[in-house]
Amino acid sequence: MIGKTIISLVSVLFIAHIIHLLGIFSTNLEYQEKYSDCEYLQTQGFDSIGPEDSVFYNKDILITMQANLYKAFEGMESIETVQKGGFYAVYGISTGKLEAKKIQIKNYPDNIFLIPHGIYLRDSNYLSVINHSFYTGGERVETFRILLDEKGQVALEYLHYTKMDDKFNGITNDLVFLTSERFLISDCMVFPAPLSGPKDQPAWQKVLTFVTQILKIKTTYVWDCKYVQGGLATCGKLRNSAGIMINGIAFDGNETIAVADTADRQIKLFRLNNSNKEIELIQNISVDQLPDNITYDPVNKQFISAGLNSAFEYLTLSPKIEQIQKNPTKKSIVDMQAKVHTIKLNPITKQFESQLLLSSSKAVAGISGALIDESQKYLFLTSFPDKSLVVCTRRSQ
């Protein structure tokens, strides 16, 4: 009798824990006081699905990658058939006449899969790109030179790569370069994807991944790596970086590095000691979102972290995917909460603090990141499954 009661009590507690973790009944507050009127950027004549990551090239131009990462990583399609990726640029940011155009890539072989993911602008002129090329080349970080043609349009010239160890196949996520040789890269899953692609991941690995996340076991890290041109990168775990699902990384260009642990609803702040080059954990901040990517906004000297409100919304995304990706209108038509927070140093307490910047259920489906342009007029929202990049406009005060 007592045994039974205990078992049912434990089950009820466990179910309550899962409901809480997944955020099944979490409330969806709307907050668009600073930026609002979020709309898709109209793109003509090229694919723009899955713009998970973007970087500002200058005050006028934003560079975005795209690939149907959601379908590839949920195993909805095989690596052969899933739509491959590329890059596009948004021009006219400072003049307010936004226009998206495909970026031409020079020297890119067409028999090789291009499935870009995290991108990083290094030394103003180089684009570092995570490339999940699976059996056509494994997990790599590629370097391109950014060129501007006579019309002021961006082109990419492929330069070289470093290969990531097989244990990272398909699971690195985000990267920042501290110097031209030293980079930090996150991995977000316990098991690497098979070389043939995530669709072939054994079911037991998927179940175990889910279990480690539910039980909050920390099996993912930030890796501190050395770029070896044309060879295998050498990487070691960054001390105190263990997390449940380590994801976005951002660097302020000076001494602060912010890292998101999506499943733990936490942001870790690290300090780079510029004399001995060591990196040390200085603060953990809990945030009211599942932080995915983090970007740095140099104008306001703050980090911007973006993510979904609940894991439940992520888990219920797949039946809506066609509706999302084939949406003919300018606005998102499914309900999916996008939350954006700023993380800023309070000069008095010397602690970083988070503040809500945007919360909206109709801004973008599956937010992954947010960036504010230099003029502060626009808030761009990136996403892993949606049809295009989203742009929100600053409200006049």
Ligand X SMILES: *[C@@H]1O[C@H](CO)[C@@H](O)[C@H](O)[C@H]1NC(C)=O
Instruction: Write out the residues near ligand X by the rule CB under 6 A.
Output: 52-53, 109, 112, 114, 116-120, 129, 131, 133, 136-137, 140, 142, 158, 173-176, 248, 250, 254-255, 273, 275-276, 281-284, 293-296, 368-369
Specify the residue, 30 or 181, whose C-beta has the smaller distance to ligand X. Answer: 181
Minimum CB–partner distance for residue 63 and ligand X (Å): 11
Specify the residue, 59 or 330, whose C-beta has the smaller distance to ligand X. Answer: 59
| Residue found under tokens 């999302």 | 324
Minimum CB–partner distance for residue 121 and ligand X (Å): 8
Minimum CB–partner distance for residue 105 and ligand X (Å): 7
- Beta strand pairing call for 126-132 and 99-102: unpaired
Quote the tokens at residue 225. Answer: 């790596």
Minimum CB–partner distance for residue 52 and ligand X (Å): 5
Minimum CB–partner distance for residue 210 and ligand X (Å): 21
CA atoms of 75 and 87, how far apart (whole Å): 23
How far CA 184 is from CA of 129, 233, 258, 345, in Å, comes to 13, 11, 11, 22
Minimum CB–partner distance for residue 348 and ligand X (Å): 14
How far CA 191 is from CA of 73, 158, 203, 209, 360, in Å, comes to 13, 30, 12, 8, 33
Compute how many other C-beta atoms are within 10 angstroms of the C-beta atom of residue 347. Answer: 7
Specify the residue, 219 or 368, whose C-beta has the smaller distance to ligand X. Answer: 368
Minimum CB–partner distance for residue 110 and ligand X (Å): 10
Specify the residue, 173 or 337, whose C-beta has the smaller distance to ligand X. Answer: 173
Q: Which residue is nearest to ligand X (CB)?
A: 137
Minimum CB–partner distance for residue 5 and ligand X (Å): 34
Specify the residue, 75 or 137, whose C-beta has the smaller distance to ligand X. Answer: 137
CA atoms of 376 and 64, how far apart (whole Å): 19
Specify the residue, 7 or 262, whose C-beta has the smaller distance to ligand X. Answer: 262
Specify the residue, 24 or 214, whose C-beta has the smaller distance to ligand X. Answer: 214
Minimum CB–partner distance for residue 200 and ligand X (Å): 19
What is the DSSP code string of 80-120?
A: TTS---EEEEEE-TTTT--EEEEPEEET--TTS---EEEEE
For the sheet containing 367-372, what is the strand order?
35-40, 390-394, 378-383, 367-372
Does residue 293 contact residue 249 with C-beta atoms inside 8 Å? no
Label residue 277 left, alpha or beta by phi (over 0 means left) and psi (-120 to 50 means alpha): left
CA atoms of 158 and 105, how far apart (whole Å): 7
Specify the residue, 158 or 312, whose C-beta has the smaller distance to ligand X. Answer: 158
DSSP H or E segment with residue 14: helix 2-22
Specify the residue, 295 or 309, whose C-beta has the smaller distance to ligand X. Answer: 295
